[in-house]
Amino acid sequence: MLKKITKKRVALAILFLLIIFQFFRIDKTVKPVDLNTDFISVTHADAEVASILKVSCYDCHSDQPSYPWYTNIAPVSWWIKHHINEGSHHLNFSEWGNYSQKKKDHKLEECLEMVEADEMPMSSYTLMHKEAKLSELQKKKLINWFTSIKGL
């Protein structure tokens, strides 16, 4: 009898915590696009490259993430917001025009390495966003694009 009461109390405590968590919402502010600093605009990316970047990169690496329905559920929302914050901290395509040339070249090298190694987009992201997984053709297109704009 004691085990059932304890299990029941633990279950109720977990349920109570999950309900309380819902009161702590993430900030879903999306900044307007500044064409003077946005990577796609600054580098004059063609439509195909722009589309790949928007679908596979911009949710975590820009100021324009999209927030799916499950970002309304804590603590999942906290985890996703942490990924967005981390991603845009390391590389923010919305701020590209503000980067020094040295930083741009370094970030392009990192982009090349991550795409070539299949580290980006992250598998935890493509699990929920199948359309973001890069095909071999898309990888090649991005790699060629990143290589071609180094030093610009």
Measured between its terminal Cα atoms, the distance across the chain in Å is: 72
Question: Mean of the per-residue pLDDT values for the chain?
Answer: 91
The pLDDT of 54-80, averaged and rounded, is 92
The candidate with the shortest Cα–Cα distance to 151, out of 98, 97, 108, 119, is 108
Where are the chain's structural domains? Answer: 26-149
H/E stretch holding 14: helix 2-21
**pTM for this structure?**
0.83
State residue 4's pLDDT score.
65
